Structure 1
């Protein structure tokens, strides 16, 4: 089936065609034209981007528990999450499922395997609009981590594994007051004594489990050729540790020092698009725009707000001085390549016709149309 998208500003990997056309054949990009063609769907000058690639979203959690203590049926939650991602221009989703949690009772623990199964079911049955893969987030100090991970990691849809440690007193939560402020919202009854007891308990579990769990997780990922990411790197020592583990991606470094060390050693640096849109980190860490202005940022992730991904890329262009192709690559080409996906992420002949048509309203990008392998999905 032949399709033509006409009268578009086409964002290529290295430049923008101001008024061109795109031909699609059997779900792939067949030709790129510098001038409009006589026929085809008129995009009326909209920007045409590659479909966005999201490598770390836990947005599904909000749909699994839309209110405190209210668990939603799994497959409807997955379908709603998928629709929200596609409406934000995301055509490839790595659902970031937490394998383990330090918080005890947790929607993450309760729904890990059922979510994994429901996403696979949605893909098999054609119920989802985006293409979904998995990012397994391994909480190293969780006692049952390896038992929970074993039935998941061999699945071919697993494209990324991250090693993370949310033990208070280091990395993202090196400031205990920030930790107390964040988790205190979930533990309304915490007194100073119960808080300190919880911190001590988590530090004990870290000492008992984190080291051997990390070695096992790294070996499992490497044996299967799965990309590895570190999480919340805070200093150069954390980057040295990541390098010894064969990590290729540094997710959400908390300081400029860590991001500089990551770049110096060739690691891809991921920052949260909500950090860009909000103008800073919600937990007091380094601002993503600061890293962007110092050429220390490679990839954006929408994390917990799918709509932030395109908005964040636009702000890299509008506020950090990045060219449009470079800003778009941070949410398409770079994340795709970082997890071994070579058939998407840029507009080029032979690539999947995963595409987003957008306009700008004031300084906010608006998604108008989305295609997945040439099929209109929004």
Structure 2
């Protein structure tokens, strides 16, 4: 799939542009190309520190953020590979705790590009190789890998012996790659399970749980679901976690939403069910406040975009882009934004997404919907989105830019940018709120 990655560094941008042209078959999932590429590079995936591998439809990025926060609070140096980025490509690769710098990134992109001759890797496969090469060359105590798409055939799934694997929440997304049934999507995610490694998961309906159990059993992985081997629940504004080792009572996560407490619980369970990395209870407590994952119910500070709104307004951004994420965000909004200020939803969606399903949970919550394009991406036309929103009962207007939509708000209000991580990234960049 086209990535349209951007960089302010001309060396990095030139390499990203060249990588994006490598593979005419970039939409074909599989491990053959990434395996051949990594073989040419000396199999850096075999030289990584203990790997924590996370899949899921929603919540996998936040789970990775909680993992990193807990490990770093324990004094560990941590590599992390996540995707997509919001503003700068560098956000995807964190080497021993720091974002990769432009000079390193440009050199590694070039090295991987040269090694790709005749293989034609996808953009994601090539950049996965870049991350693994970077991680193999710098000592660290742990390596967090976020699955890009699915799991079984994702480029990150070349790790033979992960320390622990996990699946976050499941929902319908990327059906053209993963299938149209939840049970099929679950099976693709469970493809990261490995012999001898624990597979930690959230709690799923019986048929989905049964399929995951079968896959884990077939490969020799130990499946540990929430509600069985471990559990996490918010009670009296505290996160209560329990497993066979005992109970933890922790602060609720700083990241808003009940779903973030479950993501934090998943990260805790991953770290409590391994014995290579020591993580004290105090580190879990610190992680609840330290963990940061941009564009997840994030309120933007003063900046060029937020300054376009009337005094007394708030600008929020969330990268949710499927119906399951929309239901979680809409539920949080309904129960927390209760002071009567109107809600303006700034909405966009890729053509591959279920725009109707994403917008539906905001019925009765959003006062106005401003529909937008997504720069450089194959997105739904704002006019068509506005017509669709009106059919659902919303007051809706097509706009050309986020700034134009915000400038149209005449009274103090809340504005929520929603529907696409790419749109969220545009808003963060335009407001000068750059993830670090």
TM-based fold match above 0.5: no
Greater RCO between the two (CA within 8 Å, min separation 6)?
1
- The TM-score, its normalising length taken from structure 2, stands at 0.26
Relative to its length, the structure with more strand (as a share) is 1
TM-score (norm 1): 0.29
